[in-house]
Amino acid sequence: MLDKDSRMPLYSQLMDKLIYDIENNMKENDKLPSEREICEIYNVSRTTVRQAISELETEGYIYKEQGKGTFVAGKKFDQQLVGFYSFTEEMKKLGKKPTSKVLRFEIVASSNEIAKKMKLQNKQLVYKFTRLRLADGEPMMIETTYVPYDAFPGITKDDLNKIALYEILRDRFNERIEYAEEVFLPVLTNEDEAKKINVAVGSPSLKITRYTYNKNNRIIEYTVSIARGDKFKYSLKLLRN
């Protein structure tokens, strides 16, 4: 039970109790007891329960479905931004099985916009492909990638369905990735994206734009990703000069 004589607010104590239960006794998408049931279990007011539930939702432990109840949210993958990373390798570190499904693959003349972003000649050929990235079969993000064709001829859709792009560049073309630049932007998922990554239209997502460079400072990949806001969080360690 909760300690009503403690200096810790009752809603904070209730949060601790619910978090312990979520982390030790419940699974993703399990339904929490109703507000009335929680009131009875812990002998607290509905106001206290609602405040605790609101805080848990804000912190990403739970989610609500109108008319259905409150459920345990899936754990977010914590991506540490301390060095170059790839989706495939990060999922493996977490014990997940990463897979990719190529939804679209083509070789096209670069548009003015893409040529400018990748520092290519106008209408220079590029691979353009869209991949659904999954972990243990669950959609995590959708990516649209551009790679200069002349530097890496012969890549096929079948290759990308079976092998990670960076592995292809490394093993087949002996291409070394030197560094990447990324820009993060919070967005609302549009209808097409929502359908592909299995979230509701308008759900928060993260738009990630990546420029990947080789040792000659040439851009060898330009990718725009939409990552599920309920599955990813990114953290950065800041060092004082």
Domain co-membership, 88 together with 62:
no
Please check whether residue 4 lies inside any domain of the structure.
no
Whether 2 is in a domain gets the answer: no
Quick one: 36 exposed, middle or buried, by C-beta within 10 A (0-12, 13-18, 19+)?
A: exposed
How far does CA 157 lie from the centroid of its chain?
A: 23
68 lies in the same domain as 83: no
Categorise residue 190: left if φ over 0, alpha if ψ from -120 to 50, beta otherwise.
Answer: beta
- Asked whether residue 91 falls in the same domain as residue 199, the answer is yes
Q: How far is CA 35 from CA 6, 17, 43, 54, in A?
A: 23, 14, 11, 12
Q: Does 57 share its domain with 82?
A: no
What pLDDT does residue 89 have? 75
Q: What integer pLDDT is reported at residue 5 of this predicted model?
A: 76
User: Which domain-ending residue is among 54, 72, 90?
Assistant: 72
Predicted local distance difference test score (pLDDT) of residue 236:
60
| Domain around 27 | 10-72
137 shares a domain with 48: no
Domain closes at, from 72, 89, 114: 72
- How many domains does the chain fold into? 2
Same-domain status, 48 and 88: no
> Which residues lie below 8 Å from residue 166, measured CB to CB, with a gap of 6+?
86, 88, 177
CA atoms within 13 A on the CB side of 28: 8
Residue 239 confidence (pLDDT): 60
Q: Are 61 and 75 in contact, with CB atoms under 8 Å apart?
A: no
223 found inside a domain: yes
pLDDT value for 85: 65
Task: Provide the pLDDT for residue 193.
Answer: 93
The single residue listed with the structure tokens 């990324």 is: 182
pLDDT computed for residue 84 by the predictor: 61
Please give the pLDDT value at position 203: 85
Residues 29 and 87 grouped into a single domain = no
CA 75 to chain centre: 11
Q: Domain holding 16: CATH number?
A: 1.10.10.10
Total number of residues shown for the chain: 241
Q: Is residue 132 part of a domain?
A: yes
pTM summary value: 0.69
Which residue positions in the chain have pLDDT lower than 70? 74-85, 232-241
Q: How far apart are CA 193 and CA 146, in angstroms?
A: 18
Measured CA to CA, the distance from residue 80 to residue 69 in angstroms comes to 33
The predicted structure's pLDDT at residue 81? 52
Q: What integer best gives the mean pLDDT of the chain?
A: 86
Q: What is the CATH number of the domain that holds 170?
A: 3.40.1410.10
